[in-house]
A = this chain, B = another copy of it.
Amino acid sequence: MVAEILSVGTELLMGQIANTDAQYISRRLSELGVTLYRHTTVGDNPARVKEALGQALDRADMVITTGGLGPTEDDLTKEMVGEYFGLRMALHQPSLDAITSYMNRIGGVMTENNVKQAYFPEGAIIMPNLCGTAPGCIVERGGKAVAVLPGPPRELKDMFDRQLAPYLARRSGGHIESRFLRVFGIGESRLETMLLDLFHSDNPTLALYCGAGEVQARISARAETVEQARAMIAPLEAEIRRRAGDAVYGVGANNSMAQVVLEMLRARGETVCFAESCTGGMIASALVDHAGASDALSEAYVTYSNEAKERLLGVRAQTLAQFGAVSAECAAEMAEGARRASGATWGVSATGIAGPDGGTAGKPVGTVFVGVAGPDGTQAREFHFRGDRGWVRTLTCGNALNLLRLCMLRDEKA
């Protein structure tokens, strides 16, 4: 089955909100094995809603609309669906009763506009709204169907999951399953070259997505059951892991580097302390963003000035004088100082020139050193990032956590 999404709402065209409804429906459709080739968004304008609806129905078996079901005059999605199919609007008494009872309960006055919410194209399948007033509906005609859903995300999700999803599953049959491998430290084009021959398969398919200093490799398989789809994904995943090695740091669209590192520390019963210069607390904050951070982090230091690096971390004045604060030597001493001051298993440091000022010929903006001090010694690594201040800091944060991850992995292999 091929579907399209038609979002109706001037607030989307004004950029007042992001179209998270379309994202939610898209994700759910892919889980349900429904093919989706297009989203369209138009404003609350009758002619443009009807035009876009007709175009979508020419291409797809099923159109899912969102928005335009409210009580006000410019809410007209249902009416346009009726007009498109040449169907009269008919009162649905159970919906009117539900709206009346709701209005009585909240002490509101029933207006003409509320009554409008109980009218649907004749013959429509009604989907009651369990989270708000506007019911949705499904109109079937000539082998095609239009599902009309409310715009407020809570109402939409509830109606989709409880009522539309079972309807779609009955109509379609088949599943798409996807798996994301998260890769850090190999650029998008290099990874593509490494995996080039794997892109030619139609099912499962492989695609790469670029993130902050990382790449996500998505494997998707289509099969009759979830189990079959997963079985198709497994060998491709194994091959990618074989080629990319330790650069594959996690699985899943929501599994960040900070979360992976936190889980490794917790599993090992170890702790970390950060000594941050150019990142200014960003690395610690990334870890603290995840519940359970207190198991692995007790304290951290932002040492932005040289004086603070000396006093709080014990960086030697001579190191600063000879190599500068942005140096492998300083990063190493910062990491060691953080480890010593806190008593944590690991000390991790970052020092660099985030820009826009402060760069020199020898150390241009984007020059960064990260250090890791652990039970088996200390190492520091040099990076050269390009981008604005925020981007350099973000990449520094990711690479500091990644270096800690690699040190822990090496431990486990040793």
**Residues on A facing B (Cβ under 8 Å):** 7, 10-20, 22-30, 36-45, 48, 52, 55, 70-74, 102, 105-106, 108-109, 111, 113-114, 131-132, 152, 154, 158, 178, 187-190, 192-193, 199, 207-210, 218, 220, 253, 274, 276, 278-285, 287-291, 293-294, 297-305, 307-308, 312, 342, 355-357, 384, 386-391, 393
Is the CB–CB distance between A105 and B304 below 8 Å?
no
Contacts of A30 in B (CB 8 A): 13-15
> Which residue in chain B gives the minimum CB-CB distance to A279?
B285
- Residue of B15, B70, B71, B209 near A25 (CB, 8 A) is B15
Is the CB–CB distance between B15 and A18 below 8 Å?
no
Is the CB–CB distance between B43 and A37 below 8 Å?
yes
Is the CB–CB distance between A190 and B109 below 8 Å?
yes
CA A89 to CA B239, docked complex, whole Å:
35
Is the CB–CB distance between A24 and B20 below 8 Å?
no
Is the CB–CB distance between B111 and A190 below 8 Å?
yes
CA A37 to CA B298, docked complex, whole Å:
53
Is the CB–CB distance between A357 and B291 below 8 Å?
yes
CA A16 to CA B105, docked complex, whole Å:
39
CA A190 to CA B71, docked complex, whole Å:
10
Is the CB–CB distance between A105 and B390 below 8 Å?
no
Interface centre among A36, A42, A276, A288 (most CB of B within 10 A): A288
Is the CB–CB distance between B285 and A282 below 8 Å?
yes
Contacts of A20 in B (CB 8 A): 18
Q: Which 4 A-B pairs have the closest CB atoms?
A: A280-B288, A281-B281, A15-B27, A15-B26
Contacts of A384 in B (CB 8 A): 105-106
Taking chain A's interface residues, is the majority helix, strand, or loop, or is none over half, making it mixed? mixed
CA A12 to CA B287, docked complex, whole Å:
28
Contacts of A152 in B (CB 8 A): 210
Contacts of A36 in B (CB 8 A): 13
CA A26 to CA B113, docked complex, whole Å:
30
Interface centre among A39, A154, A294 (most CB of B within 10 A): A39
Is the CB–CB distance between A19 and B15 below 8 Å?
no
Contacts of A391 in B (CB 8 A): 131, 154
Is the CB–CB distance between A301 and B301 below 8 Å?
yes
Is the CB–CB distance between A305 and B301 below 8 Å?
no
CA A218 to CA B14, docked complex, whole Å:
11
Is the CB–CB distance between B13 and A73 below 8 Å?
no
CA A122 to CA B333, docked complex, whole Å:
54
Contacts of A22 in B (CB 8 A): 12, 15, 18-19, 41
- Residue of B188, B301, B357 near A72 (CB, 8 A) is B188
CA A24 to CA B16, docked complex, whole Å:
9
Is the CB–CB distance between B71 and A291 below 8 Å?
no
Is the CB–CB distance between A305 and B298 below 8 Å?
yes
Is the CB–CB distance between B387 and A131 below 8 Å?
yes
Contacts of A27 in B (CB 8 A): 14-16
- Residue of B26, B208, B301, B390 near A13 (CB, 8 A) is B26
Instruction: Looking at the assembled complex, report how far the CB atom of A162 sits from the nearest CB atom of chain B, in whole angstroms.
Output: 12
Instruction: Show 17 residue pairs from A and B whose CB-CB distance is below 8 angstroms, ordered by the A residue.
Output: A11-B207, A13-B30, A15-B27, A37-B43, A38-B42, A39-B40, A105-B386, A108-B190, A131-B388, A276-B281, A279-B288, A282-B282, A294-B305, A297-B302, A298-B305, A299-B312, A300-B301
CA A307 to CA B7, docked complex, whole Å:
50
16 more A-B contacts (CB under 8 A) besides A11-B209, A73-B199, A281-B302?
A13-B37, A16-B253, A18-B19, A40-B40, A71-B192, A109-B190, A111-B189, A111-B190, A111-B193, A113-B189, A274-B302, A280-B297, A282-B288, A289-B389, A293-B304, A300-B304
Contacts of A388 in B (CB 8 A): 131, 154, 158
Contacts of A298 in B (CB 8 A): 304-305, 307-308
- Residue of B29, B199, B281, B393 near A282 (CB, 8 A) is B281
